[in-house]
Chain A
Amino acid sequence: MIDRRLLTNIDWVLSGLVVTICLLGILNIYSATTPYKIVGTAYFIKQFYWMLLGMSISLAVCSVDYHILEDLSYWLYGLLLFLLLAVLAVGRQSMGATRWLDLGLFTIQPSELMKLVIIVAFARFFNNFQSVGGLTIKEVLLPLGLLALPAALIMKQPDLGTATLVMLIALSMVIYVGLRWSTIITFTCITIPMAWIGWAFMLRPYQKNRVLDFLDPERSRLGSGYHIIQSKIAVGSGGFAGKGFVKGTQSQLRFLPEQHTDFAFSVFAEEWGFIGCLVLIILYLSLVLWGLNIARRCNDRFGGLLAVGVTAMLFWHIVINIGMVIGLFPVVGVPLPFFSYGGTSMITSMVGIGLLQNISMRRFMF
């Protein structure tokens, strides 16, 4: 099964960074959930279990040579499209959106898996694709279709956050492959009117509100603008050194919404201050740069594309989540990888780490 030589090539930098962030996350979840009345197992312990489960899955992922994905890629893509359709047909409703699919034993969120599968599908596509001097408009059309199908289905759920992420991941990979200037200009010209049409006809009122609230938080102090204001107060009042562990008033008095999941970073920022944030951001930056480094070191194109895709996935999650918490982006339900409470996010991210590890370990095999 797993080659002994591979074990000596385990990427300890990657694993070390991930575990450190996970542990900081668990510490933070402990603090964020102290004001909750908890029935059953505490959140931070559950998160620990999720971490262990995620790491096991990650290990499983890196034990099989990633080249097998090249053959499986379109099958996976087809299966996911089917699941996304199934969600729309028979999915479980939760908070106004249908995202979950009940498989009897457990429920899955196909849109979450799509983030990974789009990476694999695009890697496969561009691996067999030769272009000199960047992609032309014609060459972009096919991958665009490959992306549009799942993106539209996810939008329909409606899950704007995930749809955006899937598109951003794909876009990052396309940029990595390279675009001609003419292509970039043409697409900018098409995208702007498209965006206007999307705004006018496709976004749901609550989604529009979120964008407007972001542009002007005072617009509705109670609606979604409330989240941004409260989060900014939490982060800002943390100051240079923070209020101290379990001493953040914003979090302990529960002014923050979803403070153990999407807004976990603002709890951290309040309690650990600028210094803490700097440490965490440097950890995340190192993780992303290391991911790109793995892509650079990899000597086969498929592996490089995969590594860039996974790194892009982590990068966009991190930037959008932190950006949202500190008022740079509108509120979209995007968790901070390894840091926010939640099993789905932990497992998706860990599968990604498994892939990176896989590519990193096998870089000498060629």
Chain B
Amino acid sequence: MKERRFVRELLESKQRILVLSFVVGVVFLFLVIRLWHLQILQTENYQAMSENNRLRFVPVAASRGTIMDRTGKILVNNRPSFSLAIIPQEVKDKEALLTLLSELLGLDRADMAGRWEKSMGRAKYYPIVLASNLTRDHVEIVEENRLRLPGVEIEMKPVREYSGGELAAHLLGYIGEVSEKELDSEDFEAYNPGDYIGKNGIERALEGDLHGNDGGRQLEVDARGRVLRTVSESYPTVGSSVMLTIDASLQKQAELAFGDQAGAAVVIDVNSGEILAFVSNPGFDPSLFSGRLPADIWQGYLNDVRHPLENKALSGQYPPGSTFKMITALAGLQNNLINDSTTVNCNGSHKLGTSTFKCWNKKGHGVTNLRKSLRESCDVFYYELGEKLGVDKIAAAAQAFKLGTPLGVELLNERSGLIPTAEWKQKRFGKRWYRGETLPVAIGQGAVLLTPIQLASMTATIANEGTIYRPHLVKRIVDADGRTLRETKTEIIGTASFSKESFRLVKQGMLAVVNEPGGTGSMARLYDVKVAGKTGTSQVVKLRDSKQGIPYQYRDHALFVAFAPFDNPEIAVAVVIEHGEHGGAAAAPIAGRILRTYFDGKKPPRKEPSETAKEESGDEDTVTVTDEKEMPAVVKEVRPPGDAVHD
């Protein structure tokens, strides 16, 4: 019974398959009939529709956000740039069109033909740019002759404008076309080939905020390329604006102070970590990088021994030289190896085993206490102290200041510097640390490396007696309507715990450096504000004796760090002059000029007749940018150049 049922079912289902096959055939027949209807009966109708079908999608790039300084002055803006493009499929007679264009606009025919040739092989509706940076006159001529120029289009796109020229070039960075490699990376997943992105500096670090969202327009055009109507449109969203902590006028003066010298300076707010000036000299012109960079200028940048393209303030790592002595001194005070009354007799050199370590002053400094050791930058004092401390205790004091690690400034590729320890040497070279190697470390030589940001942060932490703020460059992000999207909060990233007395003694020494007779930093002295500082001269290579005729790249680096006012510190400055040879002579005056500018700016503005007219750029703290057009297009020099570098 059961088996009979099974067989019956099997037979039934086989019959059903035949029915299903028939149904399938009928359904497919329907498809074929429909295709017959579309492709045979109505084809003329549809062919006409496809002929007239000229919808085109035109992407509209979002305008990048602006970048401004702490007072709201615009540093980076956009201006419209017009270019001449053709749509190949719309062009009937290529040669005639080229001739006509060169006649009407006076553009080079061969150049346009060349660009056209290069873009062959792309989709024929895709615009080819024949000439960029058209003048308004050109645009008008094209518009007037629209009918004679089928297939010709004027494209408008925003171009980055750096109103300060080379001002803060490394900090601001530049934009460029996204590369294939970048398209593959996670950061740029959502980008398309041809998009412009920040390549460097703030432009790169805050790309996500600055870029905005691109939009597009669907246009219906007729056979001659004239736009009939906009079919649909999605609007681009303007990128957010970035307000920096930088003070443009201070930045400008700091850059001017460098002149031709290569180097870096970082000015930092002692009580918040805000970076007020961020200099890497020499600069470059960021606007050149968004277009095609002329080969000779590029070569010029590459061949310059001063490396203009390098961001020295961010990724330059320098031996701090004597500016490191504060760290060694604090380590000594903390470990009770020295105190206020400890003295060392400096006779110009210090012997350890068979080696002799020289003081910079061959005659010696005589009896030297801590204050004098800082003031006159006696090396022997620190050789002896370093020998007693050992490298790891010096390193511990440096690490308490977060030296040897990136401090977390917003820019990419911040370097960490280097604080050597015995363990580090073992790992790196597989060798144990020798006592003799500690002595150069004690005076900031040997393997010690710091970035200018770290130097400034270290000085600020000494000035505020132990609080390490995260140095930062971005004050807030503002959307296109002026609403604040993000505000950088002051962030304490660590505490350098040394006793109040230790800090007091070191700071006293730093005051003496600038203000007492015999101090090495007298060139940073101001007549009205008490400045404390420390000079540093760090060896690039070991060379003996005469400095005469030493090639540029082997000369010593000159450093100077300072904070002011002494009693109630507001800002800290670090200046590095590459191959500047003497900290006191080369770096200290620049620090002095920066401090001068800062404190002049804090006074009520001097009302000189010529000055009053262009004075109104807004209050330091209350500026909120609501309308870009109201912002001054060019960074104004509000303050007179630093006029008082006192000796």
Q: Mark B223-257, 1 if CB is under 8 A from A, else 0.
A: 00000000110000000000000000000000000
The answer to whether B50 has its CB under 8 Å from any CB of chain A is yes
The answer to whether B28 has its CB under 8 Å from any CB of chain A is yes
Q: Quick one: which of A198-232 are within 8 Å of B by CB? A: 221-222, 230, 232
Contact A130 B20 (CB under 8 A): no
Shortest CB-to-CB span from B210 to chain A, Å, is: 23
The answer to whether B105 has its CB under 8 Å from any CB of chain A is no
Q: Count CB-based A-B contacts (< 8 Å).
A: 138
The answer to whether A39 has its CB under 8 Å from any CB of chain B is yes
- Please indicate the chain A residues that have their CB under 8 angstroms from the CB of B21 in the complex: 289, 292-293
Contact A236 B17 (CB under 8 A): no
Contact B43 A237 (CB under 8 A): yes
Q: Mark B19-52, 1 if CB is under 8 A from A, else 0.
A: 0110011011011101110111011011101110
A284 to B27, CA, bound (A): 12
- Please indicate the chain B residues that have their CB under 8 angstroms from the CB of A356 in the complex: none
- The number of residues on chain B lying at the interface, defined by a beta carbon within 8 Å of a beta carbon of chain A, is 49
A239 to B45, CA, bound (A): 10
Q: Mark A21-38, 1 if CB is under 8 A from B, else 0.
A: 000000000000011010
The answer to whether B619 has its CB under 8 Å from any CB of chain A is no
A255 to B231, CA, bound (A): 13
A326 to B218, CA, bound (A): 24
Q: Known A281-B32, A326-B38; judge A233-B24 contact (CB<8 A).
A: no
Contact B17 A252 (CB under 8 A): no
- Please indicate the chain B residues that have their CB under 8 angstroms from the CB of A278 in the complex: 32, 35
Q: Known A254-B123, A274-B35, A289-B24; judge A233-B46 contact (CB<8 A).
A: yes
Q: Mark A225-254, 1 if CB is under 8 A from B, else 0.
A: 000001011111111100000000110111
Contact A249 B50 (CB under 8 A): yes
- Please indicate the chain B residues that have their CB under 8 angstroms from the CB of A221 in the complex: 231
A255 to B14, CA, bound (A): 46
What residue in chain B is nearest A238 (Cβ atoms)? B39
The answer to whether A68 has its CB under 8 Å from any CB of chain B is no
Contact A222 B232 (CB under 8 A): yes
Contact B25 A222 (CB under 8 A): no
Contact B231 A237 (CB under 8 A): no
The answer to whether B133 has its CB under 8 Å from any CB of chain A is no
The answer to whether A328 has its CB under 8 Å from any CB of chain B is yes
Contact A288 B123 (CB under 8 A): no
The answer to whether A301 has its CB under 8 Å from any CB of chain B is yes
Contact A237 B123 (CB under 8 A): no
B45 in complex: contacting residue of A236, A277, A327, CB < 8 Å: A236
The answer to whether B9 has its CB under 8 Å from any CB of chain A is yes
Contact B16 A132 (CB under 8 A): no
The answer to whether B616 has its CB under 8 Å from any CB of chain A is no
Contact B35 A277 (CB under 8 A): yes
Shortest CB-to-CB span from A43 to chain B, Å, is: 15
In this complex, which of A230, A274, A323 has the most chain B Cβ atoms within 10 angstroms of its Cβ? Answer: A274
- Please indicate the chain A residues that have their CB under 8 angstroms from the CB of B194 in the complex: 37
Contact B47 A295 (CB under 8 A): no
Q: Mark A118-132, 1 if CB is under 8 A from B, else 0.
A: 000000000000101
Q: Can you add 4 more A-B contacts, CB < 8 Å, to A37-B192, A237-B47, A308-B20?
A: A39-B183, A221-B231, A222-B231, A274-B36
Report 26 cross-chain contacts, Cβ distance below 8 Å, ordered by A residue. A37-B192, A40-B184, A176-B16, A230-B53, A232-B46, A233-B53, A234-B50, A235-B38, A236-B39, A237-B43, A250-B50, A252-B123, A253-B53, A254-B57, A269-B35, A274-B35, A274-B36, A277-B39, A281-B35, A288-B24, A292-B24, A296-B14, A304-B13, A315-B24, A326-B38, A327-B34
Q: Name B's A-contacting residues (CB within 8 A).
A: 5, 9-10, 12-14, 16-18, 20-21, 24-25, 27-28, 30-32, 34-36, 38-40, 42-43, 45-47, 49-51, 53, 55, 57, 89, 122-125, 180, 183-184, 192-194, 218, 231-232
Q: Name A's B-contacting residues (CB within 8 A).
A: 34-35, 37, 39-40, 130, 132, 172, 175-178, 221-222, 230, 232-240, 249-250, 252-255, 269, 273-274, 277-278, 281, 284-285, 288-289, 292-293, 295-296, 299, 301, 304, 308, 315, 319, 322-323, 326-328
7 closest A-B pairs by beta carbon, nearest first, are A236-B46, A237-B50, A239-B43, A274-B39, A35-B123, A296-B17, A236-B38
